[in-house]
Amino acid sequence: MGKLFGVVIAVIAIASAVPIVMHTWDPPPNISTHGHAIDEQLSDTMLEAGISFLAAQLFLAFFVWKFAGRKDGAIKSFPGGARAMVIAALVLVGSEILALGVLGQKAWASVYFSPPAANALLVQAQAGQFAFYFRYPGPDGKFGVIHPDKINEGELNFFGLDPENDVEARDDIVSAELAIPSDREVHLLMHAKDVGHSFYVRELRIQQDFVPGLDLGLHFTATKPGKYEIVCTQLCGLGHYNMKAYLSVLSQGDFDEWLKQKASEQ
Amino acid sequence: MAEATASAQHHAPPQSFIRKYVFSVDHKVIGKQYFALALVAVFVGMVLSWLMRVHLVWPGFAIPGLHFLSKVGAAGNVMTPEYYLSLMTMHGTLMVFFVLTNAPFAAFGNYFLPIQIGAEDMAFPRFNMMSFWTTFVAFCVLVAAFFVKDGPPISGWTAYAPLSAVGSDAGPGLGLGQTLWGLSIAIFCLASLLGSLNFIATTLDLRVKGMTLSRMPLCTWAWFITSCIALLAFAVLLPACILLVLDRTAGTSFFIPSGLVVNDNLQPHSGGSPLLWQHLFWFFGHPEVYIAILPAMGIVSHVLINSMRRPLLSHKVVIACMMTIGFLSYMVWGHHMFVSGMNPFSALVFSFPTLVITIPATIMTLIWLGSLYGSKLRINTASLYALGFISMFVSGGVSGFFLAQPSIDIYLHATYFVVGHFHMVMGVAALFGVFAGTYFWFPKMTGRMMNESLGKLHFLLTFIGTYCIFMPFHYLGMAGNVRRYSTFVADYLQPLMPVHRFITIAALVTGAAQFIFLFNLIYSRFKGAPAGDNPWEATSLEWSTSSPPPFDNFGGKHPIVYHDPYQYGVEGSKGDYIMQTSPEPEEAK
């Protein structure tokens, strides 16, 4: 049984690594300017974690295979004893932490520690049970104020706007789809209408929670035109699984056309 | 064997059935009661996971009897999204609180901590009885949520506010069911506080002559450190749950800000913070992971040393590692909140200790591996589970290295990668510790051996099965598969459905294999081969008394301890081991 178990561990360890090595279920190609840093961090970590995983499992398998049922001879100790183990852990994990954890914070910094560009496209995203809505400020560049008591889904007033009294709200453009120009930074203002939600686009390498009562800013630049899925990743109720929208990355010309079209529909 | 005569007994053995088996103050009965409760909870939790897995891959499938579990959401026995979420919430809550906290810590700790230090009972036997029965009340309150009008809560075991706080407006299950959830967990916290105080007092006060702190077995150390963690962690979750219940019932606004429009209703709250709940919850929630895994580490070390017939490379380094893990476990909670909207600078602050905590964990793994080298490893079901634990701990641990990095967490957060990670390291690894403990200590607890053939079959199916279930979770996460979805409707998730089907089949088979364990447990209790006092040729105090131990553990005597706990492979000794109570001179080492 000892030998069999050793073989089982080895087979499982190697089989587990196969889909990773074959890139069977890799993330989809990145379409953002910051995403490659995250991808690099991910693949470096995969390499280091993968080696640690295989080494530990194969050593375990080998030792079980070799020492199970051993009856004769004296108990031997691993050369170096506990001191060797402590030093090995400190050096191996310590250097991994330095390489990935400390130096690798660039990727995080590129998303969160730089201010949005001055010419970034301002879009507000509102998450509510169970849909996203997006709002563009219109020609005046300003958003109308949200009045929670005026929110009425039946009358399609998703943001609780008051265009009769609020000049800035009159030219706001509301859409269920997030269209953005490629190669231009987008500054997304995130507002939660009811409970917690999250904004996740795999291809953008972006995930950020919507926090009720706390409007957050998030900025990113998409580089590849196309249509991508936005899904909610924060449990928000029974319709959570179905809370999604589309992100359309368009050329600047197509985007201008789209915005004009949307404005005329308001 | 030398023993001092006990001067007086703490309390006399009870005579009536109720005092003996129900409201017993005997730590051994209480330990078994915790074990039984965990056993009920784990099978209920497992069946819930079966229902979820079946629904995920065959959404239209009518599951016979589905409507019994919830008053809502199972018309024609076909599961609705809210029904799925309520199963998920109850599965997580049952497993984390009533299985992973109760089984490795409360059950085995209660039974064996006093015996391993030579005590007659816990320091406060009546408190101990109260701890269990308070836990039982918490369990009943939670299960009651299945039977209320709008069903069990749907906000997950993390109960993020404001979804969990605003009430029925936010959806079914968020009325009375969610309130019961909050009350249940608050009651559970109370019970755990009582229990951990008792463990700490017992360890510090009731050690017999010669049982110095460094002579305590590693599992006793693990339970002791865990009690210290639990005392601080549950002390934070308790008020958090009370505040949540107040938000729900008394109109307060601890976790609810102003201006929320839920289901077209403007909420009458203002001034609260949803992030406050997350901070309080995870301040408990991350140490909770170690409340589950540290006792398992202790049990596994204890079992493994006995099976390897040698002590670990270092007793003290292992204790130091467990203490370091316990200490660091309080500084890492923010890694659950990298993308929660908290200040992004704090992500870096939380990331660092999260990465550093892998160092003591790696040292422990290397010490287990290094100790295997050159050992005389005995293979039995207990040692297989202990070895399996190491394998699972490594697999679940390396994925933690991904999630500890905020930048990678942006992509992997809230995907099946996270689900795979914590199921492997906190769920399966901790349960492997419980299985190792069960197969190892069953002879002591009942006087009978468990069936080894059934045990090994159970092990192989469980080991291979859990890998088949949880390793693919990581692949799904890499592909961006979001968790907590009752149905996969997004276009990009469709190509992943074959993986989900594979997981469901693996879960059904692995779950079914657990009935072999249940059968073995019941069968061996009555028909198992007689065990004798020390079937594993072990050294610690629990093996120096009869199986099962008498009411006061050592038959009116106090054992005297002469040795470190793990004197195996000692040259010149009669067998290859020296018991802690054996008065052979120290020089024999």
* ipTM for the complex shown: 0.96
B383: left (phi over 0), alpha (psi -120 to 50) or beta: alpha
Residue B59: other Cβ atoms inside 10 A? 15
B352 touches chain A (CB under 8 A): yes
Q: How close B299 gets to chain A, by Cα (Å)?
A: 18
The domains found in chain A, sorted by start residue, are 2-68+76-112 (no CATH), 121-265 (2.60.40.420)
What was the pLDDT predicted at B371? Answer: 96
What was the pLDDT predicted at B588? Answer: 45
Chain B residues with CB inside 8 Å of A148's CB? Answer: 259-261, 266
Q: How do the pLDDT tens digits run along chain B, 589 residues long?
A: 344 444 444 567 888 888 888 999 999 999 999 999 999 999 999 999 999 999 999 988 888 888 877 766 677 788 999 999 999 999 999 999 999 999 999 999 999 999 999 999 999 999 999 999 999 999 999 999 999 988 899 999 999 999 999 999 999 999 999 999 999 999 999 999 999 999 999 999 999 999 999 999 999 999 999 999 999 999 999 999 999 999 999 999 999 999 999 999 999 999 999 999 999 999 999 999 999 999 999 999 999 999 999 999 999 999 999 999 999 999 999 999 999 999 999 999 999 999 999 999 999 999 999 999 999 999 999 999 999 999 999 999 999 999 999 999 999 999 999 999 999 999 999 999 999 999 999 999 999 999 999 999 999 999 999 999 999 999 999 999 999 999 999 999 999 999 999 999 999 999 999 999 999 999 999 999 999 999 999 999 999 999 999 999 999 889 999 999 999 987 766 678 999 999 865 544 4
Note whether B243 and B183 are within 8 A (CB): no
B484 touches chain A (CB under 8 A): yes
Q: Which residue of B has its CA nearest to A27?
A: B479
CA B529 distance to own-chain centroid: 30
B394 touches chain A (CB under 8 A): yes
B355 touches chain A (CB under 8 A): yes
* Strand ranges across the sheet with A121-128: A173-175, A131-136, A121-128, A185-192, A216-221
Domain ranges of chain B: 20-203, 535-589
Q: Between A and B, how many residue pairs show a Cβ–Cβ distance under 8 A?
A: 323
Residue B377: other Cβ atoms inside 10 A? 22
Residue A32: DSSP 8-state: B
Out of A26, A49, A113, whose CB is closest to B398?
A49
**Inter-axis angle of helices B125-144 and B27-57, nearest 10:** 20
Taking the C-alpha atoms of residue A39 and residue B411, their distance in angstroms, rounded to an integer, is 9
Tokens of B368: 């287990």
DSSP states of B107-176: IHHHHHHHHHTT-SS-SSHHHHHHHHHHHHHHHHHHHHGGGSTT-S--STTTT-TTTTTS-GGG-TTSSH
What was the pLDDT predicted at B573? Answer: 62
Note whether B319 and B367 are within 8 A (CB): no
Question: Model's pTM, two decimal places?
Answer: 0.95
B415 touches chain A (CB under 8 A): yes
Q: Residue B127 corresponds to which amino acid?
A: F
Note whether B247 and B256 are within 8 A (CB): yes
* Binary contact (A78, B264; C-beta < 8 A): no
Chain A residues with CB inside 8 Å of B161's CB? Answer: 196
Note whether B355 and B401 are within 8 A (CB): yes
**CA distance to B31, B209, B232, B557, per residue, from B201 (Å):** 17, 17, 15, 21
